[in-house]
Amino acid sequence: MSTVKEQLIENLIEDDQISQRKITIVGAGAVGMSCAICILLKDLTDELALVDVVEDKLKGEMMDLQHGSLFFHTPKIISGKDYSVSANSKLIIITAGARQQKGETRLSLVQRNVNIMKSIIPALVHHSPDCKMIIVSNPVDILTYVVWKLSGLPATRVIGSGCNLDSARFRYLIGEKLGVHPISCHAWIIGEHGDSSVPLWSGVNVAGVALKTLDPKLGTDSDTDQWKNIHRQVVESAYEVIKMKGYTSWAVGLSVTDLVASILKNLRKVHPVSTLVKDLYGIKEEIFLSIPCILGQNGVSDIVKVHLNNEEKALFTKSADTLWNVQKDLVF
């Protein structure tokens, strides 16, 4: 006797099992799952794979998302501890790693997370040799360098989430001060995603009006309006959120999804993401820092040659030195 399915449906052609826009997220913690739900709600993938070492939690997260399938348009959500579930990924997002503790700097996390990267990157590349990777785990700039070295992929296909979130926080706070939506406040933070990040006050503008032309002291110690405090708030914001809720997640997930959309849709939008900056701005070492990059289907296709004033260039060099002093002693 035929089944209900056989009575209802007559198959005409063999189904194509190969996904065209598969995304794998490695790490099913708060950040990984924030990325997952944002990506699903934006309909950016036709298959989402989740990978984690904690199997019960991983399966629970997968089931929870599957049960919401009516409300988005991703037909396949899978998970597994084995990296074979990531096979044929167009994009792999790395959020796995030791979590930043209350009061802990991103740089102090480094060796713990380097060891984790050594255990996961080769297997991921084996199963998806043509993928692009977005690194989210902290300290993101150093780990992006580590993943680049471990993966053997071109530097243009290994992208650190970098200062995309710092710049979003910067624009939000500028907008709050001006009473303007952050989408209309144009401002960039480059360098380290961390304490030595560099605010480009010279480029801050609304509707093409550079704020520096209204007040040349903007962002300096002698600025009576104390705009410099906005950058301090950006630097301290993650520590504040971690202090209050234990971790950051939502803004990170939204920021990463912004990058995913630019890559998978080949939008060629400009983002401040962490990329190889050797031979740029006088930097001689192989380090990754955030600069404005054009993102498309091949990863970082171009960089925007931003003119830095003397102070900004000095701060960028200092940011590079901060990272190099840690990176040069890494063992991997």
Catalytic center residues: 193
- Reply yes or no: is the peptide bond before residue 139 cis, omega within 30 of 0: yes
User: Which residues lie below 8 Å from residue 302, measured CB to CB, with a gap of 6+?
Assistant: 293, 294
| DSSP helix, strand, coil percent of the chain (3-state; round to 5) | 45, 15, 40
129 sits in the region (left: phi over 0; alpha: psi -120 to 50; else beta) called: alpha
Write the CA distances from 240 to 44, 101, 153, 235, 282, integer angstroms: 31, 12, 35, 10, 34
**DSSP 3-state of 37:** helix
Please answer whether residues 208 and 214 qualify as being in contact, where contact means their C-beta atoms are separated by less than 8 angstroms. no
d(C-alpha 332, C-alpha 318), whole Å: 25
Please answer whether residues 89 and 132 qualify as being in contact, where contact means their C-beta atoms are separated by less than 8 angstroms. no
d(C-alpha 82, C-alpha 94), whole Å: 15
For the CA atoms of 215, 216, 220, 224, the dihedral, rounded to the nearest 10 degrees, stands at -30
Write the CA distances from 260 to 93, 121, 287, 296, integer angstroms: 9, 19, 23, 9
